[in-house]
A and B are shown apart, each in its own frame.
Chain A
Amino acid sequence: MKLRRTMLYVPGNNSGMVKDAHIYRSDSIMFDLEDSVSLREKDSARLLVFNALKTLYYGEIEKVVRVNTLDGPFGREDVLAMVAAGVDAIRLPKTETVDDIVQVEKVVVEAEKRFGRVPGSTKLMAAIESAKGILNAREIALASPRLVAIAIGAEDYVTDLHTTRSPEGTEIFVARSLLVMAARAAGIMAIDTVYADVNNEDGFSREVRLAKQLGFDGKSVIHPLQIPIVNAIYTPTKTEVEKSLRIIAAIREAEERGSGVISVDGRMVDKPIVERALRNLELARASGIEINEEVRS
């Protein structure tokens, strides 16, 4: 199971951050060539990330690059360079339609062929940042087998909606839920938006818990301090792991006895609960928690 609890934004023209990005142990690193890079530095940032990806070792961390949109002068060259450098995934910003995915996939296919990369090895992610994009999320999520995740970019979204972000997130509630549903329907992951107030740890924790409760698989983060908070919230607790183990043990025992209905801790256990228990155990294993191998599904 690939974890994407935390995706750390790294400005693509900041050589110090590009160099050190792996030490904070996020699940993914997202090198940004888009909004964090000024127009006059686009060429230099592209070369910096290209050389870093070719040279530096980021271990098991997934390497993602947010490219510029293809309708501008930088996007196509960004995609070519990053595929040449061996990026794991291209993240497309401001995705509004299926055609946006089709166009970026065309360039990726061309680049994989040109640079001798394994066909299909470059994954795609799409950030949805407008009302139009949210309403098209279902189709976007199904637009390419390369697509592994869709994400919501809330700042642009609320601007498009003619509102602003609130601590409660009321204004993005529907968009978040639609995005998660679109991801689930397509069998891919949903990544929540960034939280800009780095010093507000309580507010950040609340938002991460909300995103997890809504079904998101992880969150884009803009500061290393946010990483352990997200990882902790997304890692099953010892109590959750133990309960999941009891559920799986009970269902196996029931199967052996030929009984279809069981209860654990005084509550009826049926198929969805078993699925949640299996997923919890899978998440726990992926998070590095040791689990008795006998209960492996």
Chain B
Amino acid sequence: MRITQTAAAGTLESSDVLITVEPEADASVHIDIEGASAARFGEQIRAVVAETLAGFGVVACRVRLQDKGALDCTIRARLSAALLRATDEAGPISWETLK
């Protein structure tokens, strides 16, 4: 999946995360984490983001997370929504394979 425009999903409410996805010119992924949990859970959050990006076949983008204590499943949900909003290639979702 190719990221073609900037898009966001989520909120800044407690237990949520606001995720912004932007196109990245070089074929690489950049993950920026803001929020109190970045220091303690940064690695875990990066792993969830990387796994979700891989699931969508995204290899080039910048992901910015403003975390308010979101669970992993919330991060996956918000990132999925942001990615689907940021691409021109979003067809029907394969719910059976979506993580």
Contacts and interface: CB of A to CB of B under 8 A. Distances in A.
Q: Say whether A associates with B.
A: yes
Contact of B78 (A16, A44, A56, A115): A44
Interface residues of A, number: 23
A44 B93 contact: no
B95 A16 contact: no
B27 interface: no
A36 to B, nearest CB: 14
Contacts of A47: 77-78, 80-81
Interface in B34-54: none
Contacts, number: 63
A55 B81 contact: no
Interface residues of B, number: 23
A43 B84 contact: yes
B86 interface: no
A116 B97 CA distance: 12
Interface stretch (A77-85, A147-155, A280-288): A77-85
Nearest to B75: A51
Interface string B17-39: 00000000000000000000000
B74 interface: yes
Interface string A101-120: 00000000000001110000
Interface centre among B70, B78, B93 (most CB of A within 10 A): B93
A19 interface: yes
B88 interface: no
Contact of B77 (A16, A48, A114, A116): A48
B96 A115 contact: yes
A74 to B, nearest CB: 13
Nearest to A111: B95
A15 interface: yes
A71 to B, nearest CB: 19
The 8 closest A-B pairs by CB, nearest first: A84-B95, A16-B15, A55-B73, A44-B81, A51-B77, A51-B73, A15-B16, A47-B77
Given A43-B81, A44-B81, A47-B77, A19 B93 contact: no
